[in-house]
Amino acid sequence: MAAFFNSVRSGFGRQDKKQQSRGNGQPAQSPTYPGSNSSIAPSVSPAPHSPGLHQAISHENMQSQPQDNQTRRPPFFFRDEYANLIVKGNFMTLAAKPVLVEEGEWLAHQVVEQYRLLDGMIQIVRTPDEKTGQPICNPDNCPTMSASGHTYTWLDNQKRPIKIPAAQYIQLVQKWIVGKISDPNLFPTDTSFQNPGTYASSGVSTPGSNTPIPAGPTSLNAPLSALAGREWIGKSSGFPENFETDIKSIYRQMMRCYAHIYHGHWLDPFWHINAYKELNTCFIHFVNVGKLFALIGDKEMEPMQPLIDLWMARGLLPAATTAQQASKAEPAQSSSMGPPLTS
């Protein structure tokens, strides 16, 4: 798992070489995991200092603090001092589409990369606890898939919404996403694709020329958009008409996974292994792409909105686009094994 964090750091181009410190003033240690070549980090590290609380909060009693304390101070991950990243610079440059790359190809690349980063975070919460031997995210600790008052339900075979443990929910989401990404009909890999319908005699050469004959207009009064046929993102690269809808559904599910990881597991394990900045870096890149290309609406970002607002105030995220504002009104799509519903 330590190798994953190294790949995250190198993937973003640069890392902060300054020695980072924990909340207790001790030097930070590199994230270490069972099975890695480096030594195992302490199983429990002191919780970050909280001026709003009289004493440090451990993982065991974090969720049982009096209500007045919780309302006085937001969760650690919503505070400015814990919103830092492992890299510096403008994340928008990582999300911006290169001029010569078709939009469908770029979005497909981004979705696959975002899932790779999220999968690394998920593997961390699946790490067995040294004391119990159970994964950190298990049915006892996380009986439902929830985040900040939001509970996400899965659809059973009869398309009825049911509450299931977060670990099971995330596993189903991953299986569903991998199935989508691996589907050559949705994510085509044939580079020889030529957009059907562009030419009347596609593949047929004319005498003395290797250029196919363009299709002629069917009506002189028809608009150019009608003559060209229906358009959608990725059409020219062979992506199907439902491509944009499906990648938005994929993004919606990844957002829910991030929300649960933050609200259920920020302190344990990410704070304890000093990996919360890596989590922040992956998440801000995810949100940046989602906002820039309107892949996710404000409603789905509600559980993490305070952190997103903090990054926006720093100028690290783009403002909402017109397309994104319109996406807020889009109804959630669902199927028996597809995107779950929100209850």
Cα Rg for the chain, rounded, in angstroms? Answer: 23
Can you tell me the distance from the alpha carbon of 238 to that of 197, in angstroms, rounded to the nearest whole number? 12
CA distances in angstroms from 205 to 194, 197, 213, 214, 292, listed in the order given = 15, 16, 8, 11, 42
Provide CB contacts within 8 A for 132, sequence distance 6+. Answer: none
Buried/exposed code over 234-254 (b: 16+ C-beta within 10 A; e: otherwise): bbbbbbbeebbebbbbbbbbb
Residue 137: helix, strand or coil by DSSP?
A: coil
Alpha helices, H only, the chain: 2-11, 59-62, 67-72, 92-95, 103-125, 166-181, 224-228, 243-265, 276-292, 298-301, 305-313, 322-327
* Cβ proximity of 118 and 282 under 8 Å: yes
Find the helix or strand (DSSP H, E) in which 342 lies: strand 341-342
Distance CA(154)–CA(166), nearest Å, equals: 10
Residues in the chain: 343
3-state secondary structure of 24: coil
Binding residues for Zn(2+): 137, 142, 260, 265
Judge contact between 328 and 294, C-beta under 8 A: no
Nearest to 115 by CA among 304, 297, 317, 286: 286
Binding residues: 137, 142, 260, 265
In sequence order, the 6+-apart residues with CB closer than 8 A to the CB of 123 are 1, 4
